[in-house]
Every structure is written in structure tokens, then in C-alpha cells.
Amino acid sequence: AKAWYYRALDKFVMDDYRGAIDDYDNALEIDPSLTEIYYNRALAKNYVSDYQGAIEDHNRAIALDPAFVLAYLNRANSKFDLYDYDGALEDILKVLKIEPENVYAFTHMGVIKHELGDNRGAYDAFCRAIAIEPKHGRTYLLRGILQIDMGYREAGRKDLLYAGSLGLREAYEILDNDY
């Protein structure tokens, strides 16, 4: 199983996601108890927009390892891509039960809450992520966009500038083009 798994990883790195999925399938035929294979196959399925298949594989990985934080986070992403915001939020809350200070969970929570129309909740989640990791540029970028959209232009611009200073050039592009 490991030979198929390593070959699948090589294909994944080369952006051959369908080939990786095939090799993960072969590995799982040999040993269906390998959690990381379900997880990695789910990631490959997400790249080919098979979000439901990705969710099913994350479910299998989580069944084998109920504390697999990355599987919950990425299952939340797949649910989000299917517009299942409530389901995505449930997964984020599960992550926070396992790792109460997970910056990615709070950042994802902010994005989800924004999609649910809870801008105050989104802002609070972004602030919590920043409190945990003060140099998490992606969260500053997202909070900046949110603040501008909420009418707090100057605070939003400040967050975008800081995100840019942390290496997210995208923040500068957003400022130049939109704000």
C-alpha cells in the first residue's frame, strides 16, 4: 500500500490529481485502514471539485482518527464549497473542541460567519485568530476586506496594509484595485 501511496503523493505534487486518486484507490484496496490515504485522497478530490467525494473520504479519516484536526478543517472547506455553511461551521467547532487555540479554525469561522450574514461574528472570529497569531497575514487580509465592506474603510485599509507587510502581495493589489 505504501508504494501506491508514495506514487500518489508524487502525482499530487505534480498536480496530477486524478492520477493521485487512482493510486490512492489502489493503496486502499491493499490496506483500507490507512488514515492518511483517505485524507490525502480527499484533498485530491477537492482539487478536481469532487467535494462530496472529499467529504466522504474525510469522514473515513475521522472515523479512523476522531482527533484528526486537518480532516475536520478540510472537510469544512469541502462543505463550504458545497454551500453547506452550517455543516462547515459544525466542523470548525469540532476543531476548536480539540484545539481551542487553532488560528485556522477561527479564520475559517470568520469566513463562514460572513457567508451566513453574521459580520459581527466574522469580525470577532478574525480578531480571535489574530490574538492567537498576531502575524497571520491571511486573517488580516480577510478582516480588512470585511471592515471595508462594513463601512470601516480606514481600519480595513490598515489591516490590508499590514497583511501586505507580512508578505501577502494580494493585499496591496486589493488596495490598488478596489479600495
- Kindly state the average pLDDT of the residues 51-65: 98
Mean pLDDT of 91-109: 98
DSSP category for residue 127: H
Are 133 and 111 in contact, with CB atoms under 8 Å apart? Answer: no
What does the DSSP 8-state code read for residue 171? H
Distance from the Cα of residue 66 to its chain's centroid: 18
- pLDDT reported for residue 177: 82
Residue 67: pLDDT over 90: yes
In Å, how far are 62, 131, 173 from 127, measured between CA atoms?
29, 6, 23
Block residue for cell numbers 487553532: 102
Residues in contact with 174: Cβ distance below 8 Å, sequence separation at least 6, in sequence order? 141, 144, 145, 160
Contact 75, 46 (CB under 8 A): no
pLDDT of residue 48: 98
Question: Rounded distance, CA 109 to CA 114, Å?
Answer: 8
